[in-house]
Amino acid sequence: MRKVLAVCLNPALDREFIIENFSIDKLNIVSNEKNKMTPGGKGVNVAVILSKYSIPSIVTGFVGGYVGNVLISELRKIDSLISTSFVHINDETRENIAIADTVNHTLTEINSEGPYVDIYSMEAFLRRYEVLLKQVSVVVISGSVPRGVSNSIYGELTKIAKKYNKKVFWEARDEIIIDSIKIAFPDVLKYDMRRSEKILGNILHTEDEYIKATKEFIKSGAKLVIVSYKTIFDFVGTVDGVWKFSPKVDIDHSYLLGTGDTFVAAMVLAQLDGKCCLDMARYGYAAAVAKTSYIGKEPPSRQQIEKYLELISSERVE
């Protein structure tokens, strides 16, 4: 049985060009080996990481046009443990272009706005989502929402998943969480705070404000909440209290890329292993900290995660 349904509503094709002395208004030639193309989007990333731990998954969402077909084809090359089941739309899938200049240390990014999803595609998606849902035990909904789709979609999808008693994980930004929790709460709620420090519309500053916000989510119905604090710390709330997670090792901030997806994937792994609540969050956090100890896209091995469980602290703060 495929164990996980990874919902990636707005996947992207990530294009990376490494160009020494990149200059605008000139022709820049890049060799094939310095031109990478990888499927992206948070849900896709989680499925890819899970495949490294031999966990089969189905990835669903919307793809469109030539870029969409390239994305699917690249995703299929990664691992046969990833099954694809996308709804095909009229608009082109988004493409994120990054030009890294290793001489002048610049990073130029060009991201396409992304597709518009019409009502018919949305209906087709919802019908298929419910069918796919029955095939898995865990649903991960992660990442941005394309134009035309309501921010409450995470709540709608969770409400359907709960009809079938599935465990639901979210990693999302504040505006999606605000609209979606009005409909349903997931089992695990992880805040994506990469582009915004807002929680429920407010910018929080002190540790007390973070603790209060974490408690509010639990009061409203969440079973496990993870709120990132100053990038490398997390406040974790369960019905039993609130904890502050910290690393016991120095974190290299330039290795933080992909740690959020590793966190979520490792929590799913822990859930499938039968771990619950705080232990699940600890496993995710240890995996994320382990991921910062090296460059590269590969997730840490299970042995590395076990080792890093000793290199993190979880202090009860409430």
Contacts with other proteins by CB under 8 A lie at 58, 64, 69, 72, 76, 80, 82-86, 88, 124, 127-128, 130-132, 134-135
- C-beta closer to other proteins: residue 125 or 235: 125
Q: Per DSSP, which regions of the chain are E strands?
A: 4-8, 12-18, 35-40, 57-64, 82-89, 94-101, 106-111, 138-142, 167-172, 188-191, 198-199, 202-203, 224-229, 233-238, 241-247, 312-316
Q: How many residues does the chain have?
A: 318
- C-beta closer to other proteins: residue 81 or 224: 81
CB of 295 to other proteins, least distance (A): 30
* 3-state SS, residue 37: strand
Asked if 246 and 315 count as a contact pair (C-beta separation under 8 A), the reply is yes
- C-beta closer to other proteins: residue 165 or 254: 165
Comparing CA positions, the residue from 313, 285, 318 lying closest to residue 209 is 318
Comparing CA positions, the residue from 84, 90, 67, 49 lying closest to residue 13 is 67
CB of 131 to other proteins, least distance (A): 5
- C-beta closer to other proteins: residue 120 or 294: 120
- C-beta closer to other proteins: residue 82 or 269: 82
CB of 55 to other proteins, least distance (A): 14
**Cα(111)–Cα(269) distance, rounded to whole angstroms?**
31
CB of 142 to other proteins, least distance (A): 19
**Cα(238)–Cα(222) distance, rounded to whole angstroms?**
8
CB of 46 to other proteins, least distance (A): 17
